[in-house]
Amino acid sequence: MRIAVPREVAALERRVALVPDGVARLVKAGHQVIVEAGAGERAGFPDASYERAGAALGTDAGMVSGADVVVKVQRPTPEEADLLGQGSTLVALMAPATAGELLPRLAARGITTFAMELVPRTTKAQSMDALSSQATVAGYKAVLVGAGALPRFLPMLTTAAGTIAPARVFVVGAGVAGLQAIATARRLGGVVSAFDVRPAVREQVQSLGATFVEAGAAAEGAGGYAKELAADEQQRVLAAVATHIRDIDLVITTAQIPGRPAPVLVTRAMLETMRPGSVVVDLAAESGGNCEATRAGQTVTEAGVTVIGPVNLASTMPFHASQMYGRNILTFLEYIIRDGAIAAAAGDPIAGPMCLTSGGSVRG
């Protein structure tokens, strides 16, 4: 098959959908891979590395229009979508909840679209799970961003000028990003605590050396994701967070509910109880934010607390983020391509739930 890897055009996007190692594996399997010139440069993968892996370099729209499969990080713009060949296959992070106008456009061209954020949370699909791989990057980087904004050290230090107590870090949401944030904060010497509405993650939090904060609420939905809390449970959670957050120096919030706005777990009233100079890094900024003061893509100060709302944080570490995402893409392609054709029926347990458009129609 002819597989195209275009350069990403979205603002602030530095990742690339396939790295040279993945290209080499596809070429060895008999596929033709065309990479747009410069597609990997911002992630640390120059054109020469793709050529050594067996890819051809493309420089015009024909590389996309003539491809059987197009793989991307971000969903295509309308202009990019119009370049896709009739009946081709698109694989990308599609952000389905906000792709309403794009999907009919793709369906009208007979394009089969697979959303990488809809990979089922099953053992068989684990190596394709792009949300988890990119959340790992974001969780790690969030701690570094927060530590850089703190006006104090993270670890305990014993110096000639006296002993400096370690900073206290509170991670809200112990999914993949949260667990990585916990591990990173611990490595940097912080005293870490964490909260999640899913009781099942308690042991994971504790195994990383963090304290689990009880809130008297439990809400675990399908696929291991959190689900929306009932009103009384939400009040118990807010009360528990409010009590705990007063003595915290760095808060990392990661709580999100698929298809819904992020729950507000840190209110402005809570910020007023925190010490001046404290920092909140809100990884849910793009879906509304876990902190009431969060502004996506901005850093604001409320009641002396710095609130950071990073956007596309995984893209700020494009080398490893691309390696991980590229492995997700590669594994998925190897799964759906059989005997030189796309062989993924609507009832397929992995590809089926990921399919947004097929046969000229929008699915769902």
Find the radius of gyration of the CA atoms of the chain.
22
Tokens standing for residue 315? 């893209």
Does the annotation count 74 as an active-site position?
no
Q: Are 257 and 263 in contact (CB under 8 A)?
A: yes
b/e per residue, 263-272, with b = 16+ CB within 10 A? bbbbbeebbe
Does the annotation count 126 as an active-site position?
yes
CB within 8 Å of 347: residues ≥ 6 apart: none
CB within 8 Å of 98: residues ≥ 6 apart: none
Tokens standing for residue 306? 């710095």
Q: Which residues pair with 34 in a beta bridge?
A: 4, 56
DSSP state string for 56-100: EEE-STHHHHT-SEEEEEEPPPHHHHTTSPTT-EEEEE--GGG-T
Active-site residue, selected from the candidate residues 60, 126, 232, 235: 126
Active-site residue, selected from the candidate residues 68, 129, 249, 282: 129
How far CA 223 is from CA of 119, 220, 289, 346, 350, in Å, comes to 10, 9, 22, 20, 13
Q: Are 335 and 351 in contact (CB under 8 A)?
A: yes
Does the annotation count 132 as an active-site position?
yes
Does the annotation count 335 as an active-site position?
no
Phi-psi region of 265 (alpha: psi -120 to 50; beta: other; left: phi over 0): alpha
Per DSSP (E only), the strands in 143-237 are 157-159, 162-164, 168-172, 191-195, 211-212
Active-site residue, selected from the candidate residues 132, 133, 278, 287: 132
Does the annotation count 140 as an active-site position?
no
Active-site residue, selected from the candidate residues 42, 202, 225, 363: 225
Residues taking part in catalysis: 121, 126, 129, 132, 225
